[in-house]
Chains A and B, each alone.
Chain A
Amino acid sequence: MPAKSATRVMHVLRNDQLASKQKLRLMRLKAHHFLFGFNERKGLFLTFIIYLLLLGIGFVYLYPILYMFITSIKSLNDLLDMAINWIPSSVYLDNYRQAYTVLNLRPALLGSMQIALFPTLLQVAISSIVGYGFARFSFPFKKLWFGLMIFSFIIPPQILMMPTYRLFSDLGLTGSLSAFTIPALLGQGLNSTIFILIFYQFFKQTPKSLYEAAEVDGANQLVSFFKIAVPMAVPAFIVAFLFSFVWYWNETYLTTLYLTSSSTDITTILIQLQQFESNYETLYPVAEAGPNRINEGIKMAGTVISILPLLIIYFFLQRYFVESVDNTGITGE
């Protein structure tokens, strides 16, 4: 492209029929188009700004992760050495070994997996059913229920926290997985409203004639839900699954409430991360000026471990995640 423009510029300059004033005007116009764009084409200036912003903001997002990773492989000497900033003198994996024990990783990972996976499966299934109900049928008080559903997302959970906590402890649910699966089963899981809305939006878009055709062929409502609606909503299911999994994995508020205040064996990685420092001190008692002090490297190693499973899942499923924007009716209109 630049070569082509250059020859064009030469062409203009060599043209004897144009006065020098006209030449200048043409040149300026061309330069202006090149820099600021013309019609559909973006100019160099705008392109430059777009890339600059993208790279800059991208860096802002990557910076904490890079920092976290680099710090986690620094030894104590490297941490104290002011000269070493980005490239540690050696890859020091002892931080990870310590973080592994401090995080109590094996049970914590198991707990996190359970708490993220089972409620997510239930939540996605129930949200799709409820979303279908709202999208497909018209029934009395539908508007009221729909409004109340959105309302239940907006009210602060603190109001519901105490009575729910009491209810659950009366029923003996605290400290067990049921404290998470039962609300999910009843469509009141973490951010359930958002998932119901996603499915509602999605099922609204499928043409009604499909269902009518199935009904003519004698399918009842359940059959047409499982045989027509569900297979068509696969992208919505993937998005809902991803979001729900991530949100349950990252949840600390409810897990702290239900799991730490009662005696239970279930623990999650993020609860362990919250208690990282105190756990560390009980595991490695601090001798006066001894070498066992907790340092940034170990803390960061713990943080890296806690987000690693999500990063791996994201790495494999990010295509769906990123594409989901294009093809799910994620925005309610």
Chain B
Amino acid sequence: MKIKRETLYGYLFILPWLMGFIGLVLYPMIQSFYFSLNDMRITPHGLQFVYVGFNNFLNVWLQDMFFIQELLAFAVDTLIRVPVIVVFALIIAMLLNQDVKFKGLFRTIFFLPVIVASGPVISQLVDQGATAIPMLNQDVIMSILNSLFPTWFAGVLSDLFNQIITILWYSGVQILLFLAALQKIDPNLYEAAKIDGGSSWECFWKITLPTIKPLILINLVYTLVSLANSGQNPIIDLIYANMFNATRGYGFASAMAWMYAVIISLMLILIFLLFREKKSKRIN
């Protein structure tokens, strides 16, 4: 059988990635799963594997007292942060897409976080209290929130206020993506809508939002993945600590990483289910 030339060239061009995928993604994944089924000890004679089945997975849930606690904290935090970041990013992108004076200057400032935001820098800033807005009187806000909402929700909201700068700082890439999408919307669409008497508000819901809907999904996924994989995440510290822990070791840490991966995947599936394109409703 003669291989088509196009096939040959296609594989030639993606060959580096293909090798990388097999060597640095697929193989480590299989290995990691194998680790998680074993009790691994570093002995003077090298690594020792003792097959323990799914015990490691059970132990992650039953023995580690921090894991569930951190996981719950992470889940609540993420469920609040992801939508807030994406909504903020959309608002900012729409503002930047307006015809305003000093557009270039504003864009330069707004893309700063993409450049500057990194783990140690942000944690230094948070330590110094540079990320809380000093003008807002915290006590007044707290008391207002407490009178309006149940205590746990008020706590969540005031947390949000405290982290507002950090949250904004995590939204650099998302703003970029939204802005690029907004600029691709045909201005004629808006013109036609305006002639038919549509207000800006209607235009937003009927034109802007449906057009950038795929980008919302991408941004949600990106935000979740970047939050989940950031070095500031306590669960990752926990996995890292267990990896070099004498009594637990690689096997336990692998099991924990897999459980974490399952939780993240569940969240991703949730996002996909909420935002998937409903085929029947589409006109085109």
Contact = CB atoms under 8 A, between A and B. Distances in A.
A310 B10 contact: no
A89 to B, nearest CB: 20
B218 to A, nearest CB: 7
A318 B111 contact: yes
B17 A156 contact: no
B121 interface: yes
B13 to A, nearest CB: 3
Interface stretch (B48-56, B152-160, B164-172): B164-172
Given A160-B29, A322-B107, A187 B20 contact: yes
Contact of A62 (B29, B109, B231): B109
Interface stretch (B60-68, B69-77, B202-210, B253-261): B253-261
A183 B22 CA distance: 12
B115 interface: yes
A52 to B, nearest CB: 10
Interface stretch (A24-32, A65-73, A279-287): A65-73
B109 A137 contact: no
Interface string A102-146: 000000000000000000000000100110111011111010010
A303 interface: yes
B162 interface: no
Given A156-B229, A322-B111, A162 B120 contact: no
8 contacts: A68-B130, A132-B13, A158-B260, A159-B32, A167-B28, A192-B17, A303-B124, A314-B115
Contacts of A158: 229, 236, 239, 257, 260-261
Interface string A252-290: 110010000000000000100110100000000000000
A250 B13 contact: no
A162 B32 contact: yes
A140 B4 CA distance: 10
Contact of B28 (A58, A126, A160, A185): A160
B87 to A, nearest CB: 13
A17 to B, nearest CB: 30
Interface stretch (B78-86, B138-146, B177-185, B276-284): B177-185
Interface of B: 4, 6-7, 9-14, 16-21, 23-25, 27-29, 31-32, 35, 91-92, 95-96, 98, 100, 104, 106-121, 124-125, 127-128, 130-131, 133, 164-165, 168-169, 176-177, 179-181, 183-184, 194, 200, 214-215, 218, 221, 225, 228-229, 231, 236, 239, 243, 250, 253-254, 257-258, 260-261, 264-265, 268
A162 B253 contact: yes
Contact of A325 (B25, B98, B120, B180): B180
A326 interface: yes
A243 to B, nearest CB: 8
A154 B17 contact: no
B218 A273 contact: no
B228 to A, nearest CB: 6
Contacts of B253: 162
B110 A61 contact: yes
Interface of A: 39-40, 46, 50-51, 53-54, 57-58, 60-65, 67-68, 71, 126, 129-130, 132-134, 136-140, 142, 145, 148-149, 152-164, 166-167, 183, 185-188, 192, 196, 221, 225, 243, 246, 249-253, 256, 270, 273-274, 276, 296, 299-300, 302-303, 306-307, 310-311, 314, 318, 321-322, 325-326, 328, 330-333
Contacts of B164: 60
- Which of A50, A137, A166 is packed against the most chain B CB atoms within 10 Å? A137
B14 A130 contact: yes
B257 A138 contact: no
Contacts of B19: 186
Contacts of B13: 129-130, 132-134, 136-137, 225
B120 A270 contact: yes
Nearest to A135: B13
B106 A54 contact: yes
Given A64-B131, A330-B177, A186 B10 contact: no
A102 B265 CA distance: 42
A46 B10 CA distance: 52
Contacts of A251: 118
B130 A164 contact: no
Contact of A252 (B119, B176, B264, B265): B119
B263 to A, nearest CB: 9
B98 A50 contact: yes
A139 B115 CA distance: 38
A307 B257 contact: no
B95 A250 contact: no
A53 B95 contact: yes
B258 A159 contact: yes
Contacts of A186: 16-17, 19-20, 23-24
Contact of A250 (B31, B117, B243): B117
A270 B2 CA distance: 53
B126 to A, nearest CB: 9
A185 B16 contact: yes
Nearest to B19: A186
